[in-house]
Chains A and B, each alone.
Chain A
Amino acid sequence: MDIGQLFHNLFFDYTLRTVALGAALLGVVSGALGAFAVLRRQSLLGDAISHAALPGIVIAFLLTRSREPVVFLLGALAAGWAATLSIAAITRTTRIKDDSALGLVLSIFFGFGLMLLTFAQKLSDARQAGLDKFLFGQAATLLQSDVVAMAAVGALALGTTLLFWKEFKLLTFDADYAASLGYPVRTLDVLLTTLLVVAIVIGLQTVGVVLMSAMLVAPAAAARQWTNRLETMVGLSGLFGALAGVSGALISSAMEKTPTGPVIVLCISALVLVSLLFAPARGIVWRWLRNLRNRRRVRTAHLRP
């Protein structure tokens, strides 16, 4: 398929248009909220939440026997929330440190989810429900109505972030200081983490529980390379996420039997690589060249008395 045809399809082919739009949406929301997660050193929390969503999805199906994505996503939301609360409860009440708590919750929830999934697959109506698609995501299952729902929820999440921008910025930079000024940091923390869960849930159908955390961490890591301002970083991070989403959708539609989710993740990884190497101030290549130049200058200065 040539490029012109591909772009024609992007706008006029129902499936590709829906998938690309959905991938762009998930990229924007997870990119923007992922930036906060990365700055708060919560990258692993995103990973734990997305893996923990699996049992939520299966339980939601077992309870309702519905195939509506909205039902699955509500289950994912509840499970993601439960995982977050468990991590907080473990670190607060035991001597287990937060990284171990994250690991514990991730593996317990995910293991439980896999077990439930195996059980549910044996039921006749479950195979058609496509539960296993949530492992690695399947963008082709996206319907226009799903995308509309994603857009509405995503807009709500991004709107909330903008509304509490000042508060989230302060919380992320210096939570103790925020508390000393009288801001309820626990509540703000729960709110921001809830938005993170929402961002994850939006992407699950397309990217899947296993790879979803890449969509939180990678755009933010790439964006941080290009700017020293939070506003720009969050914006760029969303843009990178959307870019990866659309290019992933295009590439996987051009090649047969290529799953969309992993291709999206590969696209964002390429963006990270380019940013790590070539971003102006922080790029490895430029730093290396600067060092080389400095060393040469010092050497010639030594030669001339």
Chain B
Amino acid sequence: MTTTAVEVRDLTVAYKDKPVLWSVDMQAPSGALMAIVGPNGAGKTTLIKAILGLVRPLAGQALIYGKPYSKQRHLVAYVPQRSSVDWDFPTSVLDVVMMGRYGALGWLKRPGSAERRAALDALDKVGMVDFAERQIGQLSGGQQQRVFLARALVQNAEVYLMDEPFQGVDATTERAIVRLLQELRSQGKTVLVVHHDLQTVPEYFDWVMMLNVRRIACGPVSEVFTEQSLRATYGGKIAFLNGDGVGEIQDGYRTALSQPVL
């Protein structure tokens, strides 16, 4: 039995009076590469933010290796949604990546040559080292995403929480991200990824959390990523064609289930 890297117990979160997460449980074993899937408004981003302590839950808790997040910060790196910041902010790619060291640096200390080296290293891993001095507003969407990933990489964490890193990126970036995820897994890191493209879940991930306000299923992809649980997650909004057919989710996301569902 492996240890649990991220554990969520009975988590309930509400915005104003509307519940966004209802009594959610989740376990991600150490070393898992886990997709978090569910329709729009299912609470995927909220789940990530609750684990990070960015939203206050009504009930329940999230633990990183058995302890609250506030005690385990140094073990966790966060990749927010790309659209959550203003990319016209006057700063360079290198500067943004160095922000990943700010937590380890602590108050008042300025980033120096060690931080610079770490940032360039991380940029190299995502294939962006040539862009180090660029203003971040001059990057394409995929390049911006890779900068955010590099910023998380310099944190040198054990657990990575990524909010829609595949959202609106080009094919090059998608391949780069997948390569990176696999590299992280081979190093024994735990990675949780909010994901939209159901088709690629079996190909990219080994664990999956299926969420729609409540937890629908959570476990190895081969066991829980079934037609039954997909129906339960997406309600009547998903259409299946058996075999290699194309399914459609009516809220606008096209998806194809390339593998026959069990």
Instruction: Name A's B-contacting residues (CB within 8 A).
Output: 39, 41, 95, 163-167, 169-170, 172-174, 176-183, 224, 227-230, 232-233
Contact = CB atoms under 8 A, between A and B. Distances in A.
Nearest to A40: B86
Contacts of B107: 167
Nearest to B91: A230
A176 B84 contact: yes
Contacts of A227: 90
Interface string B46-63: 000100111000000000
A237 to B, nearest CB: 11
A39 B54 CA distance: 22
A180 B76 contact: yes
A163 B108 CA distance: 6
A174 B70 CA distance: 19
A167 B103 CA distance: 10
A73 to B, nearest CB: 29
B80 A229 contact: no
Contacts of B91: 169, 173, 228-230
A181 B80 contact: no
B224 interface: no
8 contacts: A166-B102, A166-B110, A177-B78, A180-B54, A181-B102, A183-B103, A228-B135, A228-B137
B89 to A, nearest CB: 5
Contacts of B70: 182
A230 B95 CA distance: 10
B96 interface: yes
Nearest to B105: A166
A233 B92 CA distance: 13
A169 B95 CA distance: 10
A227 B92 CA distance: 11
B188 interface: no
Contacts of A181: 73, 102-103
Nearest to B152: A177
Contacts, number: 72
Contact of B103 (A176, A182, A233): A182
A233 B53 contact: no
B54 to A, nearest CB: 6
A184 to B, nearest CB: 10
Nearest to B85: A174
Interface residues of B, number: 30
A130 B53 CA distance: 51
B245 interface: no
Nearest to A39: B89
A176 B90 contact: no
Interface in B1-49: 16, 49
A240 B108 CA distance: 28
Contacts of B78: 176-177, 180
Nearest to A164: B108
B168 interface: no
Given A163-B108, A180-B78, 4 more contacts: A174-B85, A181-B73, A183-B102, A183-B103
Nearest to B161: A180
B90 A224 contact: yes
B111 interface: yes
B113 to A, nearest CB: 16
A185 to B, nearest CB: 9
A173 B103 contact: no
Contacts of A178: 102
B99 interface: yes
A227 B135 CA distance: 10
B223 to A, nearest CB: 31
Nearest to B151: A177
A224 B86 CA distance: 14
A177 B107 CA distance: 15
Nearest to B69: A180
Given A163-B108, A166-B111, A180-B78, A174 B90 contact: no
Contacts of A170: 99, 102
B253 to A, nearest CB: 25
A179 B85 contact: no
Contacts of B89: 39, 172-173, 230
A180 B151 CA distance: 13
A173 B73 contact: no
Interface string B89-125: 1111000100100110101111100000000000000
Given A164-B108, A170-B102, A179 B90 contact: no
B102 A176 contact: no
Nearest to A223: B90
Nearest to A178: B102
A174 B83 CA distance: 11
A41 B86 CA distance: 10
Interface in B182-241: none
Nearest to A167: B107
Interface in B131-186: 135, 137, 151
A170 B99 CA distance: 7
B237 to A, nearest CB: 29
A183 to B, nearest CB: 8
Given A164-B108, A181-B102, A181-B103, A228 B90 contact: yes
A230 B90 contact: yes
